[in-house]
Amino acid sequence: MAFPTVSQRFQRMDEGRFGLLLMAPTIIILTVFLVGPILYAIWMSLNSMDLTISPDADFVGVQNYVQLVDDPAVQDAVPRTLYFAGLTVVFSTAMALLLALVLNESFRGRKWVRVFILLPWAVAPVVNGVLWRYMFHPQYGLINAALYALGLIKEYRVWLDNAAVSLAIASVASTWKALPFLALILLAALQSIPESLYRAAKMDGAGAWSRFRFVVLPHLRGILIFVVLLQIIVSLQAFDLIYTLTRGGPGTDTVVLNYLVYVNAFERLNLGNAAAMGILLALFIVGLSGLSLAFAVSRRR
């Protein structure tokens, strides 16, 4: 009796099993490198793991989570994180939409412009933070030199000594880094809009603003929701930019939640507390993203 060959077995396999077979490598990789660390982090968050006291883990249940609620550092970091995330989402979405609209128009050198706008996206996040820190350096920064040469300031300023200004600068730096990727996503959506809709709108007497409002925005609504959700997730996880730009200073005035996780884990060596903070931050991101998505969907109805 001849056994079926491998190709014959694949041909006899139904679509459901064949799809699971194709997904199996990805499922295994995600289980090992994603689900495993998440479960370990949850286990750590339920244990007291302060390496300055003992290397052993001591089960304490939800005590780490209870302590975080009353932690003044966490209470201070939450509004800073929301402030930074809010500025980043607004800046990046607005600037990406504006850039996409410009790149969607026909002008000489458009192809080269599309290539050059990718440069910020190619810069490493740590290099991005260092670059902006030196741009706002109080003694030899480019921003001070330009403003002084234009007569807009009478003397060089220390820009990063104020928490609100520092977080705003960090938000601009984050926007500059993410702008090319977001603009290209929106540009692809713009190019999918049929030209006949623009012609019909012009024939009906619609101006530029009316065409943008009634033709462009309805077609971009879905991708704009995606861009906003993506920026919410990225901005709430900000660490490398804050670390290289301000190091949480002045004092602790620019310490956001993800930076606080780093401080607890690698400076204070309190792994249980840091794990609990990381889990709460993940739930916070999921919850805020879910609320934003629900709000956006409800507005579409």
Domain annotation for the chain: domains and CATH numbers: 64-300 (1.10.3720.10)
As a whole number of angstroms, the distance between CA 93 and CA 292 comes to 14
Give percent of the chain with pLDDT exceeding 90. 38
CB within 8 A of 87, min separation 6: which ones? 167, 168, 171
As a whole number of angstroms, the distance between CA 161 and CA 47 comes to 38
Q: Are 132 and 221 in contact (CB under 8 A)?
A: no
- 300 pLDDT higher than 80: no
Stretch 46-62: mean pLDDT: 88
Q: What share of the chain is helix, strand, coil (3-state, %, to 5)?
A: 75, 0, 25
pTM of the model: 0.85
Stretch 197-215: mean pLDDT: 82
As a whole number of angstroms, the distance between CA 288 and CA 271 comes to 25
Type of residue at 10: F
Stretch 107-123: mean pLDDT: 84
As a whole number of angstroms, the distance between CA 65 and CA 142 comes to 44
pLDDT tens per residue across span 4-37: 665 666 666 667 777 787 888 888 888 888 888 8
CA–centroid distance for 202 within its chain: 38
Residue with tokens 């603003």: 209
What pLDDT does residue 2 have?
Answer: 54
